[in-house]
Amino acid sequence: MNQLDFNGRHAVVTGGATGLGFGIAQRLVASGGSVTLWDRDEAAAAKAAESLGGRAFALKVDVSQQSSVARAVADTMAHAPRIDALVNSAGITGPNTKLWEYPVDDWRQVMEVNINGVFLCCREVVAQMRRQGDRGYGRIVNIASVAGKEGNPNASAYSASKAAVIGLTKSLGKELADTGIRVNCVTPAAVKTAIFDQMTPEHIAFMLSKIPMGRFGTVEEVAAMVGWLCTEDCSFSTGAVFDLSGGRSTY
């Protein structure tokens, strides 16, 4: 594993109890930093933080609720001197079905978590970053998806929400370009985590068939790129979209 320099920095990772969020938190701690895991599953977040050691903390947060996110920022600042990085990894897939059969309540829930949650976390954390000096030093990495570039059939809500994450990233990156805050996103193809439990076997097979490398990505591969995007070395990229798709999406 290549060594990244996140020494002395503190990151907030949403959805940090499991999957990509936990893998990213592991990489940041291994790179010398500390993390606060924001997750709606309080017990799982606490267990994950314990496994990461003394430089990890856990908070129960509902990213779809502004009051919960604002409280989480205040609670994070109670044990961390700064928030240097925000990784928006919390997300849900929603059901795999045709758009005209898509349950309206499920559509709304996917949007609440996947895009409204990113908006609310960015809104509250950017305000904190701008108060911290260093021209508002910070790094924000949003976890989008190749589905947001191409649109997966039978996943209209997920695809639309991840396309919105890409657009939000580009907009916010430009708004903060004259500060020390950099905002980027990554667009993984399918990475085998517990989120696969929310998908049908047919949809999983479809995603694999689209990857020229013929395999799913790994959590470690995503964490390596996200980890670098959280460091000071990522200084001239903002509003950018970084591909992690095994050759599926090259634009």
- Residue-wise pLDDT for 140-162, tens only, equals 999 999 999 999 999 999 999 99
pLDDT, mean of residues 51-75: 98
Q: Is the pTM of the predicted complex or chain greater than 0.85? A: yes
**Contact predicate 85/230, CB 8 Å:** yes
Sheet holding 181-188, edge to edge: 56-60, 34-39, 10-14, 85-88, 138-143, 181-188, 240-244
- Least reliable range by pLDDT among 114-128, 207-221, 223-237: 207-221
| pLDDT tens digits for range 229-251 | 999 999 999 999 999 999 988 77
Q: Is the pLDDT of residue 133 over 80?
A: no
Residue 184 has pLDDT above 80, yes or no: yes
Residue 9 has pLDDT above 70, yes or no: yes
What pLDDT was estimated at residue 135?
66
pLDDT of residue 1: 77
DSSP string, 95-150: ----GGG--HHHHHHHHIIIIIHHHHHHHHHHHHHHTSSTTT-EEEEEE--THHHH
Residues involved in catalysis: 158
State the CB neighbour count (10 A cutoff) for residue 133.
10
Structural domains of the chain sorted by starting position, each given as residue range(s) with its CATH number in brackets? 10-244 (3.40.50.720)
Q: What is the mean pLDDT of residues 55-80?
A: 98
Q: Is pLDDT at 38 greater than 90 in this prediction?
A: yes
Q: What pLDDT does residue 251 have?
A: 73
182 near 238, Cβ under 8 Å?
yes
Q: Which helix (H) or strand (E) holds 189?
A: none
pLDDT at position 54 over 70: yes
- Alpha carbon of 209 to those of 23, 120, 218: distances in Å? 25, 35, 16
Radius of gyration over alpha carbons of the chain, in Å? Answer: 17
Gap between the terminal Cα atoms of the chain: 27
Mean pLDDT, the chain, rounded, equals 95
Candidate from 48-62, 101-115, 131-145 with smallest mean pLDDT? 131-145
Summarize the confidence of residues 205-220 as an average pLDDT. 91
Give percent of the chain with pLDDT exceeding 90. 86
Q: pLDDT band at 134, cuts 50/70/90?
A: low
The whole-angstrom separation of Cα 114 and Cα 102 is 17
The predicted pLDDT at position 250 comes to 72
In this predicted structure, what is the pLDDT of residue 80?
96
3-class DSSP state for residue 247?
Answer: coil
Helix (H/G/I), strand (E/B), else coil: 226? helix
Question: Across residues 42-47, what is the average pLDDT?
Answer: 98
pLDDT tens, residue by residue, 92-116? 999 999 999 999 999 999 999 999 9
CB of 118 closer than 8 Å to CB of 142: yes
Say how far residue 45 (Cα) sits from the centre of its chain.
15
